[in-house]
Amino acid sequence: MERLQKVIANSGYTSRRKAEELISKGLVKVNGEIIYELGIKVSPNDMIEIDGYILKNENKVYYLLNKPRGIITSTSDDKGRKTVVDLINTNVRIYPVGRLDYDTTGALLLTNDGELANLIMHPKSQIDKVYVAKIKGLIGKNQILKLQNGVLVDGIKTNKAKARILNYDKKSDTSIVELTIHEGRNHQVKKMFNAIGYDVLKLKRERIAFLDVKNMKSGDYRLLNPKEVKKLYNETKNKTC
């Protein structure tokens, strides 16, 4: 027996927080009865219905996508724009783990495994998220140290990070900087550079944990193999426990 919101999240239908909202709004039925109470436990034989959709036990799938620029990180968009889910050919209901901005490219995980998604996004997971940013101007060692030690973003100091200069182009007056963070706050990387006086011209997430997109073209995706999935679970559980 497991809590209803956990079963919904683990099915890949939505996040646990969103599942709790659906229950509170009376949009979830168990064996035909509307459930409002959070924390009610259900068995594998119970029929769960969410706003008319019958929850099914689907095989877990895990995709790594090299997200292109100009794609929405969502399962749907009310403006009719293309989403990351539209790029993947699957009949399984999947959703992105975290998000990348509309104009940000690179590594993005999509899955129907709510448990792993929650572990990766947990504040204590400390999973590496490696970004490469093209910024306007020459960045110095003092600014790199500020990024490493944490800067104020929306009034809250960011955690310690890793940062290094990869290149400076004098002709275009642009710097290429690699930044490794463990958080996932809204527009965090761009805001971190803004906090030290730089605008981000281009941004790509090169790696999540040990998963990178170096040999993948923009828009390409692939299934993770069982060893990779097990390694992700091990890395997240070791840090959140």
Answer whether 161's CB lies under 8 Å from 153's CB: no
Average pLDDT, the chain: 92
Average pLDDT (151-165) is: 95
- What are the pLDDT digits (tens) for 90-138? 988 899 999 999 999 999 999 998 889 888 987 778 899 999 999 999 9
* CATH 3.30.70.1560 residue ranges for the chain: 129-208
Bridge partners of residue 85, in order along the sequence: none
Q: Which of 101, 128, 154, 169 is catalytic?
A: 101
- What are the pLDDT digits (tens) for 20-29? 999 999 999 9
Stated length of the chain:
241
Bridge partners of residue 174, in order along the sequence: 136, 169
Report the range of poorest mean pLDDT among 31-35, 50-54, 103-107, 156-160. Answer: 50-54
- What are the pLDDT digits (tens) for 171-183? 999 999 999 999 8
**Sign of the CA dihedral running 173, 176, 181, 183:** positive
pLDDT of residue 44: 81
Answer whether 96's CB lies under 8 Å from 85's CB: yes
Is position 46 annotated as part of the catalytic site?
Answer: no
- What are the pLDDT digits (tens) for 53-102? 888 777 889 999 999 999 999 998 889 899 999 999 998 889 999 999 99
pLDDT of residue 240: 56
What is the CATH number that goes with domain 62-123+213-240? 3.30.70.580
Answer whether 111's CB lies under 8 Å from 63's CB: yes
* CATH 3.30.70.580 residue ranges for the chain: 62-123+213-240
* CATH 3.10.290.10 residue ranges for the chain: 2-54
Q: Give residue for tokens 């690179």.
A: 106
Closest CA to 63 of 104, 105, 103, 93: 93
Amino acid found at 54: I
User: Is 3.10.290.10 the CATH number for 2-54?
Assistant: yes
**12, two tokens:** 């890949």
What is the CATH number that goes with domain 129-208? 3.30.70.1560
Those residues whose C-beta lies under 8 Å from the C-beta of residue 183, and which sit 6 or more positions away, are: 123, 158, 159
**167, two tokens:** 């290149």
Residues 117, 119, 120, 125, Cα dihedral to 10°: 170
Could you give the maximum distance between any two Cα atoms of the chain, in Å?
Answer: 67
pLDDT of residue 115: 84
Higher per-residue pLDDT: 10 or 227: 227
Q: Give residue for tokens 């390694």.
A: 231
Report the range of poorest mean pLDDT among 11-15, 64-68, 152-156. Answer: 11-15
